[in-house]
Amino acid sequence: MSTSDVASRLGPIVHARVELGSVLVSLLEALPGHEVELHRWYERDHFYAGCMVGPYFFSGRRYVATRALKDLRFPDTTPVVDDIARGSYLALYWLQAGHHEAAVEWAVSQVNWLGANDRMVGHRAHVHAGFYQLRWRVERDADGVPAELALEHPFAGVVLLMVDRDAGVDRETFESAYRAWIEPRLAGTPAALCLGLEPEPLPDDAPSYVMRPPGLERRSLQMFFLQGDPRESWNELFSEQDAWLREAGLGYVSYAAPFIPTIPGTDRYADELW
């Protein structure tokens, strides 16, 4: 296919400016004894072949949860994943605003092709994969790291915190209350950026092994980027959120998990997962 044919079919890859529109979140677990194999396959092949070479994917980064970080996760039972202790490796991808459907269409087709052509390594368990639409952002600093650069900036940690709203609490009511509560709490903490995201149902032709957790219509994802080890601010910023949500009648924390960045080109942390 010629360059002109591609341009005609896809349209301009970027319009006036690069802007974060949606996010792909992927959580994988290595089967015991295959930690390095999974890590290297994902880092050296799938990270690029499965997403980054595709249209409208403009940034990506991988993270890991060591045993010490997994010990902070809560609640013990969650509707988001089968086992809260699973999911050692996290990959985040940024998608260009205004092109979500085209990017998802390409990504699903690509991963199906990779599977059919023996490019999907074994000895792994899919824990969670989903697309999320960006709804809002809160920056701690007046001139801080913008969301579009969050995966390029050397943040020391990221926290995924999902909330399931109570029946009768609509998305707008929750978001307004949550933003008003969290924004002043970021001041003076390592959390420089918080993104509010809404889950999107997976397409019907997505691989059948990718789990489709229930309750998406009442779920929100808050993604925090930290300038320090997540353990240092866990009690201050995250462990108390469930109690506040319940007291406010908004819902409850359905999944909270911290991660730190992998170090590309190394197997660092692969022996610290269990």
pLDDT of residue 122: 76
**Mean residue pLDDT across the chain:** 92
pLDDT tens digit sequence for 123-147: 788 899 999 999 999 999 999 999 9
Confidence of residue 5 (pLDDT cuts 50, 70, 90): low
Average pLDDT over every residue of 223-233: 97
Predicted confidence at residue 121, as pLDDT, reads 79
List domains and CATH numbers for the chain.
18-261 (3.30.70.100)
Q: C-alpha angle with apex 194: 71 to 92, nearest 5 degrees?
A: 70
Query: Cα separation of 48 and 93, whole Å?
Result: 11
Distances (CA, A) of 101 to 56, 97, 115, 171: 10, 10, 21, 22
Q: What's the mean pLDDT in 91-109?
A: 95
Please give the pLDDT value at position 201. Answer: 81
Residue with tokens 């918080």: 194
- Report, as an integer, the average pLDDT of 192-200: 97
Confidence at residue 42, expressed as pLDDT on a 0 to 100 scale: 95
Mean pLDDT of 74-89: 95
User: Which tokens sit at 149?
Assistant: 């650069």
Residue 1 confidence (pLDDT) above 50: no
How many whole angstroms separate alpha carbon 127 and alpha carbon 27? 5
Q: According to the model, what pLDDT value does residue 11 have? A: 60
